[in-house]
Chain A
């Protein structure tokens, strides 16, 4: 093992450890959420994950972006075989260790190049959609600043990684042809790098080795950096989409959960002869005020969101110019739980900063614009449920703060007194049967 191999091992391990530490923090943050049982109906969950996460079924309701996204996704998954080779070569100082596969190896490499080309083309088109043709959902206000930079950085990184891969193969090919003793694997004429190799015909062997090594290191360090970038980026969806879809809500979308804490109280109200249960240690809170009042699944949703904006582009409130954007609800939830996590690292308890998800991040105006139509839930390619967060925050506004708009309060009073949301007399309920 030479010095480069030692450096490689150190860099590789450091990157993995750093990733593990940051990923653990995200996992801890998610676990700050309230308990929720999603361990039922395993068979159905595996099937759903295969179709929706692995097969990207919901993406294909918009075929063109779906196809490009599928190229990038398939490319990244499959090119990981190449990364495995780089890691082995890096540790043991071998050259193209997978070439033991014989005649299969050039075939494999060629398919990687085709995929890498599709990844590059996909990313270039995505950059154009974001920055030149400015597809509406990709340039909305909530993406100003970091989210926009984040999206562009991801695409640029992916294009750079693929470019390095092509040039590495091109230099390798030129070195093989020149008879360099270390570059002894004939990869043949590759579909992309084969054309690039022509540019290097006049290059010295040492220059080619430098180019090949540079691209090799760039590629692997780039991938390790990308891995660590995930944890601060919206791009985490490439990992979390799978568990997030697995733990989806399997009930009809129209069904909202019944709050158990309320059921006990209502039973007591309706039947005063019941013995009240002992008072809980922490006073019950109805609905959610801060990110830690949400369930772990709602927090997982927030970390899974890749800010594609399909939800917002289908939201009737947003389409008609209201402030509500389901994507912003998810981004706010993630930003807030991240902030709570950072405070924890500094030794501060949740809520000690005097801030909360409600009001400091999400305003009542946004919450009251929701029609609960489930368009956002339906639109999400990875089964995120922004509506459940909106509802939980509304519940806090209404049940803990009595802070509903006046007309809503009037409607609630009517239901309470007249058993009908309008000001009618319950005695007139059957009048329709006498009318023509």
Chain B
């Protein structure tokens, strides 16, 4: 993507006396993790391509508090939530797109009880809507006929019942979408949820991401698609563990789509 996209913060939008269609909630992984930043840029490319005006909070964005809550620190979670809510309400935000199922779940389900009421969409849902409305079109692309498996992120799938949106986006690419044995309601976690991302696993006989990677690699896919920066880390590590990184790519649904956008 050679085109430069200007990323405007909500403060800049406000200074111009305007407001964008949506707020893009980037999330911590999407802001700081090098691999996840590429997903973030793919999402902005899609938004730009579809002509969606969007803003980000930039330095005013703070962790939603999700990992604190799942780790059991409700105090810290609610402090983060209330701080974020006062920023969001200050900009009169109505609609949010997130690049992370954990941010998505927290903003959508846990903020309303603390005074933050927004229409919240995960980026795979948002992209699916753009495709449905014809605001983005697909042409060619590298994934035609390629075997793609989708790893359901827990907080998107079981957590919020969103199974179809990411699959619909993959299907549009004319790819060979193959279901894993453990998929949808029965999807196996990548091992990072519930604040596990930030600690070593408890003693056991295997890492969860290795268990999942074995299942995925048994299918011999060209691509493992996912929709979560934590799943991205875990699956990438898993594929590397088996030295399969040159044959099997791990990509976010947004990255898959960017490749096939009609110029």
Question: Does A378 sit within 8 A of B, measured CB to CB?
Answer: yes
Given contacts A267-B82, A316-B211, A319-B211, contact A258 B204 (CB under 8 A): no
Decide if B202 touches A265 in the complex (CB within 8 Å): no
Docked Cα-Cα span, A424 to B36, in Å, equals: 15
- Which A392-436 residues have C-beta < 8 A from chain B? 394-399, 404-405, 407-408, 410-412, 415-416, 419-422, 424, 426-433, 435
Indicate which residue in A314, A368, A405 contacts B186 across the interface (CB closer than 8 Å).
A314
CB distance from B252 to the nearest CB of A (A): 14
Picked from A316, A372, A420, A435, the residue with its CB within 8 Å of the CB of B208 is A316
Establish whether residues A253 and B158, one from each chain, have CB atoms under 8 Å apart when the complex forms: yes
* Complex contact B72–A397 (CB within 8 A): yes
Query: B59 contacts which of A256, A269, A427 (Cβ < 8 Å)?
Result: A427
Chain A proximity mask over B181-210: 1 for CB below 8 Å, otherwise 0: 000011111011111111111111111101
Smallest Cβ-Cβ distance to A434: which chain B residue: B7
* Contact stretch, chosen from A67-75, A213-221, A240-248, A320-328: A320-328
What residues of A have a CB within 8 angstroms of the CB of B206 in the complex? 320-321
Chain A residues within an 8 Å CB radius of B197: 421
Q: Pick the residue among A316, A395, A431 that contacts B72 (CB under 8 A).
A: A395
B110 touches A430 (CB 8 A): no
Given the known interface contacts A254-B160, A371-B196, the answer about A265 and B75 at a Cβ–Cβ threshold of 8 Å is yes
CA distance A199 to B231 in the complex (A): 66
Cα(A419)–Cα(B105), bound, Å: 18
Once the chains bind, are B28 and A421 in contact (CB under 8 Å)? Answer: yes
Tell me if B80 and A419 are in contact (CB < 8 A): yes
Q: Is A262 positioned at the interface, with any CB of B under 8 Å from its CB?
A: yes
- The answer to whether B79 touches A266 (Cβ under 8 A) is yes
**Chain B residues near A287 (CB-CB < 8 A):** 72, 74
Contacts of A316 in B (CB 8 A): 188-189, 191, 208, 211-212
Q: A317-B204, A320-B208 are in contact. Are A258 and B78 (CB under 8 A)?
A: yes
A412 touches B73 (CB 8 A): yes
Interchain nearest-CB distance for A369 vs B (Å): 4
Nearest CB on A from B226, distance (A): 14
Mark interface residues in A355-383 (1 if CB within 8 Å of B CB, else 0): 00000000001001111111101100000
* Docked CA distance A429–B32 (Å): 7
Is the CB–CB distance between A419 and B109 below 8 Å?
no
Q: How far is the CB of B57 from chain A (nearest CB, A)?
A: 8
CA distance A394 to B208 in the complex (A): 21
Would you give the shortest CB distance from B155 to chain A, in whole angstroms?
5
Interface centre among B37, B73, B161, B187 (most CB of A within 10 A): B73
Our pick among A269, A374, A430 for the contact of B79 (Cβ within 8 Å) is A269
Q: Tell me if A76 is interfacial: C-beta within 8 Å of chain B.
A: no
Q: Is B201 in contact with A322, judged by CB distance below 8 angstroms?
A: yes
Question: Is A404's CB under 8 angstroms from B71's CB?
Answer: yes
Chain A residues with Cβ below 8 Å from B177 are none
Q: Does A3 contact B (CB under 8 A)?
A: no
A23 in contact (CB, < 8 A) = no
Taken together as a complex, chains A and B put the C-alpha atoms of A433 and B5 apart, in Å, by 8
Interface flag for A263 (CB, 8 Å): yes
Contacts of A259 in B (CB 8 A): 74, 78
Across the two chains, which residue of chain B brings its CB closest to A370? B194
The reply to whether the CB of A391 lies closer than 8 angstroms to some CB of chain B is yes
B17 at the interface (CB under 8 A from A): no
Q: What is the CB-to-nearest-CB distance from A327 to chain B, in angstroms, rounded to a whole number? A: 17
Scan A60-101; emit 1 where CB is below 8 A from any B CB, else 0: 010000000000000000000000000000000000000000
Instruction: Assess whether B59 is in contact with A371, with CB atoms less than 8 Å apart.
Output: no
Do A420 and B31 have beta carbons less than 8 Å apart? yes
Distance in angstroms from A423 CB to nearest chain B CB is 10
A252 touches B159 (CB 8 A): yes
Chain A minimum-CB-distance residue to B114? A258
> Given the complex of chains A and B, what is the CA–CA distance between A254 and B100 in angstroms?
13
Known A316-B191, A428-B32, A430-B58: A61·B186 in contact at CB below 8 Å: yes
Using known A-B contacts A371-B193, A374-B154, determine if residue A255 contacts B109 with beta carbons closer than 8 Å. yes
Number of chain A residues whose Cβ lies closer than 8 Å to a Cβ of chain B:
68
Contacts of A411 in B (CB 8 A): 67-68, 71, 195, 198-199
- A260 CB → nearest B CB, Å: 9
A277 to B157, CA, bound (A): 40
A375 to B186, CA, bound (A): 7
A286 within 8 A of B: yes
**B198 and A373 contact, CB distance less than 8 A:** no
Q: A254-B158, A316-B208, A411-B195 are in contact. Are A399 and B74 (CB under 8 A)?
A: yes
A374 contact set on B, CB distance < 8 A:
154, 158-159
- Mark contacts of A306-341 with chain B using CB atoms, 8 A cut-off: 1 yes-contact digit, 0 otherwise: 000000001011011111100000000000000000
* Contact indicator B68/A412 (Cβ below 8 Å): yes
Give every chain B residue within 8 A of A372 (Cβ-Cβ): 70, 154, 193-195
Given A270-B79, A371-B193, A429-B58, are A394 and B207 neighbors across the interface (CB < 8 Å)?
A: no
B30 touching A432, Cβ below 8 Å: yes
- Mark contacts of B61-103 with chain A using CB atoms, 8 A cut-off: 1 yes-contact digit, 0 otherwise: 1110101111111111011101100000000000000000000
Chain A residues within an 8 Å CB radius of B158: 253-254, 373-375, 377-378
Q: Do A323 and B202 touch across chains, with their CB atoms under 8 A apart?
A: yes
Check B61–A369 contact: CB distance below 8 A. Answer: no
Give chain B residues whose Cβ lies under 8 Å from the Cβ of A281: none
Bound-complex Cα distance A428 to B58 (A): 9
Please give, as numbers and ranges, the residues of chain B lying within 8 Å of A427 by CB-CB distance: 59
The answer to whether A368 and B202 touch across the interface, beta carbons within 8 angstroms, is yes
Q: Is A353 an interface residue (CB 8 A)?
A: no
A251 contacts B by Cβ under 8 Å = yes
With CB as the reference atom, state the residue of chain B lying closest to A424. B32
**Is B51 on the interface with A (CB-CB < 8 A)?**
no
CB distance from B246 to the nearest CB of A (A): 23
Minimum Cβ distance to chain B for residue A323 (Å): 7
Q: Cα distance A314–B160 when bound, in Å?
A: 18
Give 9 new A-B contacts, CB below 8 A, not counting A254-B159, A394-B71, A411-B199.
Answer: A253-B158, A253-B159, A254-B109, A258-B110, A371-B189, A419-B62, A429-B61, A430-B59, A432-B37
Can you list 15 pairs linking A and B with CB atoms under 8 Å apart?
A252-B159, A258-B114, A266-B78, A287-B72, A316-B191, A320-B206, A375-B186, A378-B185, A420-B32, A422-B32, A424-B32, A430-B7, A430-B56, A432-B40, A432-B41
